Copies of this chain bind each other. A is one copy, B any other.
Amino acid sequence: MTYTPTTQERSSVDLDLPAQLLTPEGERISDERLDRWAADLDTDSLRTLYRDMAVARRVDAEGVALQRQGQLGLWAPAQGQEAVQIGTARACRADDFLFTSYRELGVLLVREAAPADLVLTWRGEALSTIDPYALHVAPPQIIIGAQTLHAVGYAMGIQRDRSDQVAVAYFGDGATSQGDVNEAMVFAASFGAPVVFVCSNNHWAISEPVSVQAAVPLAARAPGFGIPSLRVDGNDVIASTAAMRWALDHARSGGGPVFLEAVTYRMGPHTTSDDPTRYRSAEELEIWRARDPLLRLERHLTAVGAFDEGFRAEIDAVAGEFTSRMRAAAINAVTRPAIEVLDDVYAQPHAGIDEQRAAFASYLAGFAPDEGGSR
């Protein structure tokens, strides 16, 4: 770990060789680090994983469509990142507590967020609608990296409760530059906290390639903090599941924090406001299309005869049902009345806000009913 004066080379970890169990061609391969964590993944399990990913992709497309139609203010597409999101989230126990960024759609789906939860925030009706304690997932974080410290603190709480739950922090490649993410690793290592860091390296932080954030693979960062890490193919749902199972087991059994770098790709724009053609090439996108997480599992399932029209129909039904409820939730959303902007600022009575609320209520009451309707 200590470099000698003559050492000038950078890391030898090859960006293109993360741990993999399913090739882009759909071939099931072996990786001695991961095999035992994927041993029980039979065809049925793989079909479930595929279905989750396919539904996530459909939900994502619906989100984009709703935004285009003016029903949502914004959407952050997750297309291309389904494998890491579904694989890692499916590996978690229901009571593991997950702290995500805005892009972890697949994680929210696994946690059974309601269709409305996925649209009301992006529509601007609420800052968040999920119940974190019911779903065991925190509201998606927008401040880059901030949630990693929350996950570590939660994990410190788990330790104090002598529980075997695990906290999980999801974040992107860009986030690794933030002080908070590095402090999270310091705290996690110092306290041996049961937390798994899942860094989805989708190669871009808006327009900045990952090379602006780091000179070596992101997985190389963690060992420097005393945290074991693994680079995994984040477009390989089998490897993603297996790596996460290893990581969770490590953390759950008292081994302390683990860091996963899931190598993946954001196939769409950063958000619906973004124009990726300004900063990346069509060729790059093509390379990654060939590594599509759904495609490879479809090839595999087809090869083993487990991908048929019935299965496709089943997915269609699930996705169709979910997306139509999503669409309805968006279109039928009722904006809360004006006065409610003043709700929930404090948990206990507060002279300042209570007075402001009363004054605003009486101001609103000053409008004629028909005018008041616009308020």
Contacts and interface: CB of A to CB of B under 8 A. Distances in A.
Interface string A1-21: 111111110111100000000
Contacts of A222: 224
Nearest to A11: B1
Interface stretch (A48-56, A101-109, A211-219, A281-289): A211-219
Contact of A186 (B3, B8, B214): B214
A156 interface: no
A214 B189 contact: yes
Chain A: interface residue count, which band?
Answer: 35 or more
A179 to B, nearest CB: 2
Greatest chain B CB density within 10 A among A2, A8, A213, A243 is at A2
Nearest to A221: B224
B230 A2 contact: yes
A276 interface: no
A250 interface: yes
Interface string A266-308: 0000000000000000000000000000000000000000000
Nearest to A247: B5
A7 B228 contact: yes
Interface in A207-255: 211-217, 219-231, 243, 246, 250, 255
A277 to B, nearest CB: 25
Contacts of A362: none
Given A186-B213, A190-B215, A230 B5 contact: yes
A215 B227 CA distance: 9
Given A190-B215, A220-B223, A221-B224, 20 more contacts: A1-B12, A1-B217, A1-B219, A2-B230, A5-B34, A5-B230, A176-B186, A177-B183, A178-B183, A179-B179, A179-B182, A179-B183, A186-B214, A189-B215, A190-B212, A215-B225, A216-B223, A216-B226, A220-B224, A222-B224
6 contacts: A5-B34, A5-B246, A5-B250, A177-B186, A215-B226, A216-B223
